[in-house]
Amino acid sequence: MKRLQLVLLGVLLSIGASAQVKDPVVLTVQGEEVRASEFIYIYSKNNPNPSFHKDSLDAYMELFINYKLKVRAARDAHYDTIPRLISELSDYRKQLALPYLTDKNQNEYLIKEAYDRTKTEIRASHILVRLNPDPIPQDTLVAYGRILRMRERILAGESFESVARGAGGSEDPSVEINGGDLGYFSAFQMVYPFEDAAFKLNIGDVSMPIRTKFGYHLIYCADKREAKGMIETAHILILAGDADSPELIAQKEKKINEIYALLNAGQSFEEVAAKYSEDQTSKNKGGLLPLFGAGAKQRMVPAFEAAAFALEKDGDYSKPVRTIFGFHIIKRVQIIPIPSYDNMYRELKLKVERDMRSETTRDSFVESLKKQYNYTDNAKKYLPIFYNTIGDEIFMAKWKGLSNHANDGEILFSFKDNMVTVGDFEKYILANQKKRAQMDKQELMMSMMNDFAKERLLAYEDSKLEAKYPEFQSLIKEYGDGILVFEIMQDAIWKKASKDTAGIRAYYEAHKADFFYPVRYEGDLYTCIDKKMAASVVALIETNKMTPEEIVKSVNVSSELNAKVKTQIFSSETTEAFRVRKSFPKLEEPADKSDTKAIEAYKKAVQKQNAEKAKFKLKTFKKGLNKPYKNGDLYYVFNVREVLQPKQREYSEAKGLVTAAYQNQLEKEWLLELRKKYNVVINVENLHSLAK
């Protein structure tokens, strides 16, 4: 996370020399100039609603200077020569270079193809026979033969599912649950070779074996339909797995049905989700889930997806639905129709460039490079030197090289200023030979020479990217600076502080007042559905005859939603149940979406209400049974066994907090040293001119 933040902070804007006249210098760090456009871009990127008031510009300039000083210090300390960091930047550069090394015309075709496929959804099943990433020919033949025999059984009348589930069937672990059924999918939701094969099938067809990075697949096309677009949903989840006992499953099913009854009685879906959903990532967002469907990366299990798309209008919710995760109640929030091609173009372009699809454009791009750089070869003259002398050992990756080196210096192929010799090709073969099925040796040598030429052409073009594309050069610099800052911060601050036990202890002794426990309570906190249930819990506590678990079991006889309990030490400052908030009336959104004044007034009212909702009164408690209280729509009963008064944290208890504080102090001291070491000049006049 720290690295990501630092990289983002270091995003720099490429600035052309022609623009510098209107792009004044706002900062100089040890002679290195920083212009206004760079500062504005970074300032705006890191502030969604930037203020260009002079005070705000001055405040952000101080943060900006700190970053620039760290980059300068890292370069002066030669962090940019560390092999590990050079390798990391190289890996990033390879990813970033991909869009620049593809055939743009072919790319456009793939973008259009992806859009057309986004408008269609296919329901398919598959059988997988796994292969290692680099299998030997024998393993490949065995896998291919095995999956081909399964295809023959299916064509002979066996059901696809029975073959997938049967002995020696699919090696996809999910087959035990879904029988190979992958549900509906569209573009970008499967690896490209799988997607491509599936979209070319007719309904009812079974594909020939399809090779992907996972192995060989058989694909059965069960259905095709017009895509409904993306759907946004919310859900309430009660977790239930196959390992749960029948009694526990029945208890959970009863609970989800009771929740469903609450919704039917008029309770808000969002409030019920917050109270009862067991999906911790979504419950506090009203159960809201990521978009899924055609055009989305996210996919859902088929049962969930089918129930969601079956809902007829926004706001509708389903009956309880069982999936492998448990019981869901699903609410349709909105359907987002598939946008136009123009509106989706940018998103699709990025996806295509990052997807395996980009690999299919590489060959045509290489052909264009050959024309651009006047590629020529002497294959007819010099390849016979190889295929007429190489024996079958080449197929076992045991070739030792040419016995006659008289032609090593002859040019095999050339382009631009690059001359590749027969000797270079020999070294390439030796480095890239592998076990393979036997084939015509002339065909093999031609294929390997073409691969070698492709490699050299792409490497040459790659070496020119920074000079040809200023925006590419800028992006590489951004990431490189971020890596350097992260690394020097590790050494100068984070690791140093963690290892300096004496310094941490001394900081603790000097700042003890900063490390106190707040008021804490040890006891049992009951959450109750209503005031009546809270009274029942109080009555049972007062009998002093039942454990907290027995009390909850007793009051939940009529409903699993009546009450629950937590027994632990609670902090008065961090326990949400102790933050008592006001209740507010529900604001109604204007029905007429074209009434801009009403919509704007509604938005302002929501913002104001949200600001008020953020305020709360902190509850305090006494030892013993406290009076029930309401917070939101729930009632709480707190039986306090011990009130733990504020006290000094011992060093062992506060060490993590102390270390973080000590790191902050070291960073401040280090930055002061850097400001003394490097000459920093702010052009205040130019900086403040941005306020205009």
Give the pLDDT confidence of 613-646 residue by residue, as tens digits. 767 788 999 999 999 999 988 999 999 999 999 9
- Whole-number mean pLDDT of the chain? 89
H or E segment to which residue 226 belongs: strand 215-226
Q: What is the mean pLDDT of residues 508-515?
A: 92
Contact yes or no for 525/558 (Cβ under 8 A): no
Q: What is the per-residue pLDDT for 8?
A: 35
Residue type, 473: Q
Q: What is the mean pLDDT of residues 22-42?
A: 86
φ and ψ at residue 499, rounded to 5 degrees: -85, -20
Q: Is 11's pLDDT higher than 70?
A: no
Helix (H, G, I), strand (E, B) or coil at 335: strand
Give the pLDDT confidence of 364-383 residue by residue, as tens digits. 899 999 999 999 999 999 99
Q: What is the mean pLDDT of residues 113-130?
A: 94
Q: What is the mean pLDDT of residues 101-111?
A: 86
| Structure-block tokens of residue 443 | 């065909």
Give the pLDDT confidence of 647-667 residue by residue, as tens digits. 999 999 899 999 999 999 999
| Structure-block tokens of residue 488 | 């020097």
Split at pLDDT 50, 70, 90, the class of 7 is very low
Please tell me the least confidently modeled range out of 6-15, 86-95, 325-334. 6-15
Instruction: Write out 450-491 in H/E/C secondary structure.
Output: HHHHHHHHHHHHHHCHHHHCHHHHHHHHHHHHHHHHHHHHHH
Please tell me the least confidently modeled range out of 10-24, 81-95, 139-153. 10-24
Give the pLDDT confidence of 130-175 residue by residue, as tens digits. 998 778 778 888 999 999 999 999 999 999 999 999 999 999 999 9
Q: What is the mean pLDDT of residues 486-513?
A: 92
H or E segment to which residue 681 belongs: strand 680-682
Question: Around Cβ 660, how many Cβ atoms within 10 Å?
Answer: 11
Split at pLDDT 50, 70, 90, the class of 18 is very low
Q: Is 424's pLDDT higher than 90?
A: yes
Which range, 140-144, 299-303, 417-421, is most confident? 417-421
Q: Is 1's pLDDT higher than 60?
A: no
Q: What is the mean pLDDT of residues 2-17?
A: 37
φ and ψ at residue 394, rounded to 5 degrees: -60, -30
Q: Is 125's pLDDT higher than 80?
A: yes
| 179 vs 161: CA distance, rounded Å | 5
Contact yes or no for 507/665 (Cβ under 8 A): yes
Q: What is the per-residue pLDDT for 233?
A: 95
Q: What is the per-residue pLDDT for 593?
A: 64
Q: Is 423's pLDDT higher than 80?
A: yes
Give the pLDDT confidence of 221-239 residue by residue, as tens digits. 999 998 888 899 999 999 9
H or E segment to which residue 116 belongs: helix 104-118
Give the pLDDT confidence of 442-451 residue by residue, as tens digits. 999 999 999 9
Q: Which residue has the higher pLDDT, 2 or 469?
A: 469
Q: What single DSSP character describes residue 493?
A: I
